Amino acid sequence: MSTSKHITDRAVVRIIGEDRRTFLQGLVTQDVDRLSPGAAIFSALLTPQGKILFDFMIAERDDAFLIDCDKDAAPALVKRLTLYKLRAKVAIDIDENLAVMTSQTQPTPTAGIAFPDPRLPALGWRIIAPKDAGDRDDDYDLRRIALGVPEFGRDFSTDETFPLDVNYDALNGVSYSKGCFIGQEVASRMKRKRDVRKRTVIAEFDDHEVGLAPEKGAAIIAGDITLGQILSVTEGAALALIRLDRWEKVKAAGGNIECNGKSLQLRVPDYLKQD
């Protein structure tokens, strides 16, 4: 019996045509040439100023690229890619017959297009397959927040954050060696100068009911210092976008960190410690 479950707020965008590889390679943050059977890439499309417009995973099957992306953002992503199309021989549309699923064990060869989550192995497997009436993955956010993995649509929206803010350099989302992509000059300069002012970390609190947890956007403070804000929330934990310099000052002073009048602890994700 299949262990795969649906992520219902994801959609699949299909790109076909003989220029599809060179077309995407000049646009997105990750190296499209890293695509291979059974392996996908995690990538983003940036503004010229280096902020994230969309994020997504790209897999390849036969003569098509399949983009696993936020469902609400899919029409805007298609529109943006079409804007960049110019004379490239590609066709771009949403494939309404396909769905995105997850699995904590390696799927069978007949499950669909399966690949390890390219952001972090601990997130398990992703599968792109024909839609069916399978179960929804209600634990997906629990897993990714526990691991400290932010996601477009859940944690931030278009043109709000830089890749470094949400750890995409450490989550295999940016290639700094592949050559040009939109926003590459800003992204590369920030990484080269180690100009990392913000990071996304894990916030842990005592209330294990979502209704008692801080809401998205709530300020995280220590005395009169604002450290950052809450992103997505689940039971007992949340993701938080934090100013690193301010957090260092608070830690050095032994200050208490609070949100909405309740104490919380901030923790750096393990994968970021290895960066």
* pLDDT, tens only, 194-221: 768 899 999 998 765 555 678 899 999 9
Res 36 pLDDT > 60:
yes
Number of residues that make up the chain = 275
Is there a contact between 95 and 70 (Cβ–Cβ < 8 Å)? Answer: no
The H or E element spanning position 76 is helix 74-85
Percent of the chain with pLDDT over 90: 75
* pLDDT, tens only, 224-238: 999 999 999 988 899
Give per-residue burial for 74-93: e unless 16+ CB within 10 Å, then b.
Answer: beebbebbeeebeebebebe
Q: Quick one: 185 and 227 in the same domain?
A: no
Res 261 pLDDT > 60:
yes
Q: Quick one: 140 and 235 in the same domain?
A: no
Residue type, 129: A
Q: From 173, 190, 207, give the residue that closes a domain.
A: 190
The whole domain housing 216 covers 197-273
Q: Average pLDDT over the chain, rounded to whole?
A: 91
Domains identified in the chain, total number: 2
Q: Quick one: 127 and 34 in the same domain?
A: yes
* β-strand pairing of 125-130 with 198-205: unpaired
Task: State the average pLDDT over residues 134-145.
Answer: 91
Give the CATH number, domain containing residue 202.
2.40.30.110
Q: Quick one: 175 and 71 in the same domain?
A: yes
Task: State the average pLDDT over residues 171-197.
Answer: 87
Give the CATH number, domain containing residue 181.
3.30.1360.120
Q: Quick one: 239 and 154 in the same domain?
A: no
What pLDDT score was predicted for residue 208? 56
Among 145, 110, 146, smallest CA distance to 127 is for 110
Per-residue confidence band for 52, with pLDDT thresholds at 50, 70 and 90? very high
